[in-house]
Amino acid sequence: MALTLNTRVSELQGVGSKYEEKLKKLGIVSVEDMLLYFPRRWEDFSKITEIASAKAPGTYCIEGNIWSIGNKRSARRRMSITEAIVADKTGTMRVVWFNQPFLVKNLKQGDKVLLAGRVENKFGVVQMISPAYEKKGDQQKHLGKIAPVYKETEGVSSRWLRYEMDKLVKVIYSFKEYLPAEVIKRQGLIGYAAMIRQLHFPETTHQLEKAEERLNFDEMFLLQLAVQEQRKELDQNRAIAIQFNEDLSKEFTKKLGFTLTNAQKKAAWEIIKDLSKPVPMNRLLEGDVGSGKTVVSAMAALMVASAGFQTAFLAPTEILARQHYKSLKELLELFEVRVEILTGKTKKSEREEILRQVKDGEVQVLVGTHAILKEDLDFWNLAFVIIDEQHRFGVSQRAKLRQKSGSEGTMPHFLSMSATPIPRTLTLSVYGDLDISVIDEMPPGRKKVGTFVIPPEKKQDSYEFMRREMKKGRQIFVICPLIDPSAAGQATMELRSVTAEYERLSRMIFTDFKIAMLHGKMHSSEKERVMNDFASGKTNILVSTSLVEVGVDVPNATIMIIEGADRFGLAQLHQFRGRVGRGRYQSYCFLFTDNQSETVQKRLDAIVKINDGFKIAEKDLDIRGPGEVLGERQHGLPDINTKNLMNVELIRRTKTEAKKFLEKNNLDDFPLLKEKIQKYSGVANLE
């Protein structure tokens, strides 16, 4: 059978149907998929150490002859121990494997072997523990060389993959080069096929470095091309230019009753300048929880209304939509700007009247949830769209808003708002098609929320503290990772669920206080009732899922309890913490966890020490990767190496190269390159 890149792996000798399903779990269906399944890391076993020099604890690769090998049983632990004595010209070494009795069939006395593993010195005895092994021969695939290590699944090990990859070497050169020759030359890169070969079969560290350089460059260059093409396309559209009304802006700030921070003033001016251009604004307004993004967006909506045009304000949840409606109504009705709200819960008769008023231009600002996206809603002259927590809306949903512009041939200005700070490197790369405004300054007088990790033995003390706070009239949030224990698998059964925690606190801990429960399975009217009761002070404690992560504003709440804190990302923990400390009282965030591992404690220690949302976002990206930070379905990224997304120098290099290339060339003339870019086409756009 002639192998091609399209050959299915099930047709390969040694793979067949037995491994077909296992490989499918790794996304491998064809020979092309297998060769593009790159290693996660590499073990350098190319340096052979003489036994006499491998005495200090560490990892070594040694070569020698097996003098003796046999199995014995451990009396204490009842395990099988395979023990061998291996010798080279400089000495001997004891080698031990646990629970691998089959090794005596594979390795015999007199065999010449390569062994790679950790050497330990226990009670004066030097021994190598559970090393990887390979018989010395002409075709070394694992040891005595730089060995690739792949992401594995049950039944598919790196050792197995190395054998299979070795059979496909000749097919590698069927891969066609897609990068333009001018880019390869300018950047000093190796060819595409050479990169694939050197990633799987590097002969030297230099070869591996050159292959990794090409792989990393390609990832970020393709991303930059996609982003810049997107931006170019957006800049070709037209928008309604909204004239700046200086007198109105001064009157607006005067009536606020407080002074805008310098960061708010700067962000507002950047947005207003964009609105005045005939090209659609595509801006992201970032600001930590409580930094005052709504006020800035209200000023922009006022400019639009004064020019005679409409604004749509889209929020991801009904709770958040109602909160924005209340704020915008208070801020804008002083200037006779009509603000209305439309949600899935709006009564039919009321909805029909609002639809009519929006179509006739009587409503200047419409706040709502997904209900705004319904086909039967038409604007009179929509010129401005504000989307809060834009990553929660899909690409197709945002496209519907663009279609609702009332003026023929124009597109609305877009302002996205996010209380989840985005790492600086992601704003340079993933969000390269967006202009960014940052409110990195909190309103004066806001107290820092005291954050503490509470171990199990200190939990009772924290409950006493909570009791004292509630007696002063304060309120408490309790966040749980699960809704119902039965909804979780065995591995997560130990997590506190909302229902279980609600019952426990009500019946055993705070029997004399009023406790409510909030989760996503509740009817929207019930959710609203629970939230309103908490906001008005009727409820002392609210036990909830991550529903309260965004937008809930209860100034009287001073304590945030997070059960199973180790199960949340740092950015999400920071969002939860931002729900308290919104009033004049000192507030606290208690992180409850039973997980005492060093990794977890180190991560939670970061949230205790860092209060800056942008620094936390950088840390979160480093720990969890872009998929988790941005949301796997929304970020639109293929499986990009997180280190590349944090490499400012690489981002600048590829951005410059992408601009240079696009200035001189049309992508239509490079079909292979254009095809590669397609998988990046959903990146951070607002279409």
Nearest C-alpha neighbor of 496 from the set 511, 508, 510, 478: 478
Q: 97 pairs with which residues across the strands?
A: 82
Q: What is the dihedral of CA 440, 443, 445, 447, to 10 degrees?
A: -50
DSSP 391: G
> Which CATH number covers residue 63?
2.40.50.140
Are 603 and 451 spatial neighbours (Cβ–Cβ below 8 Å)?
no
Length of the chain: 687
Give tens-digit pLDDT for 113-168: 999 888 998 777 889 998 888 888 656 666 778 889 898 888 888 888 988 898 89
Query: Do 605 and 515 reside in the same domain of the chain?
Result: yes
Compute φ and ψ for 120, nearest 5 degrees. Answer: -125, 155
User: CA separation (Å) from 107 to 86, 132, 467, 585, 589?
Assistant: 11, 12, 67, 71, 58
User: CA separation (Å) from 19 to 23, 28, 157, 490, 641?
Assistant: 6, 10, 11, 28, 27
Pair of tokens at residue 433: 């098609």
Element (H, E) at 674: helix 671-677
Query: Do 264 and 394 reside in the same domain of the chain?
Result: yes
Element (H, E) at 365: strand 365-368
Q: Rounded distance, CA 639 to CA 94, Å?
A: 42
Residue 61 falls inside a structural domain: yes
Give tens-digit pLDDT for 184-221: 999 999 999 999 999 999 989 999 999 999 999 998 89
Contacts 24+ apart (CB under 8 A), 164-167: 164/12, 164/14, 164/15, 164/34, 165/34, 165/35, 165/200, 165/201, 166/139, 166/141, 166/201, 167/12, 167/13, 167/14
Residue 622 falls inside a structural domain: no
- Listed in order, strand segments (DSSP E) in 588-669 are 588-592
Burial of 137 (0-12, 13-18, 19+ CB in 10 A): exposed
Compute φ and ψ for 559, nearest 5 degrees. Answer: -130, 130
Query: Do 364 and 463 reside in the same domain of the chain?
Result: no
Q: Rounded distance, CA 202 to CA 210, Å?
A: 10
Residue 475 falls inside a structural domain: yes
Which of 418, 438, 461 represents a domain boundary (last residue)? 418
Compute φ and ψ for 279, nearest 5 degrees. Answer: -105, 140
Query: Do 399 and 477 reside in the same domain of the chain?
Result: no
Q: Rounded distance, CA 43 to CA 337, Å?
A: 66
Q: What is the β-pairing status of strands 146-149 and 41-44?
A: antiparallel
Residue 302 falls inside a structural domain: yes
Residue 457 falls inside a structural domain: yes
Query: Do 17 and 96 reside in the same domain of the chain?
Result: no
Query: Do 401 and 313 reside in the same domain of the chain?
Result: yes
Residue 425 falls inside a structural domain: no
Query: Do 487 and 584 reside in the same domain of the chain?
Result: yes
Report field, pTM of the whole predicted structure over 0.85? no
Query: Do 474 and 606 reside in the same domain of the chain?
Result: yes
Which of 610, 635, 667 represents a domain boundary (last residue)? 610
pLDDT at 140: 63
Pair of tokens at residue 344: 């899935």
Which of 418, 436, 459 represents a domain boundary (last residue)? 418
Burial of 491 (0-12, 13-18, 19+ CB in 10 A): exposed
Are 316 and 469 spatial neighbours (Cβ–Cβ below 8 Å)?
no
Residue 485 falls inside a structural domain: yes
Number of compact structural domains in the chain:
4
User: CA separation (Å) from 88 to 62, 65, 67, 112, 424?
Assistant: 9, 7, 10, 10, 54
Residue 193 falls inside a structural domain: no
Query: Do 262 and 385 reside in the same domain of the chain?
Result: yes
Query: Do 127 and 79 reside in the same domain of the chain?
Result: yes
pLDDT at 633: 36
| Residue segments in the chain with a per-residue pLDDT below the cut of 70 | 1, 76-77, 137-142, 375, 390-408, 420-434, 445, 482-496, 547-552, 623-640, 642, 646, 681-687
Nearest C-alpha neighbor of 476 from the set 489, 491, 493, 464: 464
Give the position of tokens 């591995």. Answer: 491
Query: Do 472 and 525 reside in the same domain of the chain?
Result: yes
How many Å is the maximal CA-CA distance in the chain?
94
Domain span including residue 510: 450-610
SS3 115: strand
> Which CATH number covers residue 590?
3.40.50.300
Query: Do 167 and 316 reside in the same domain of the chain?
Result: no
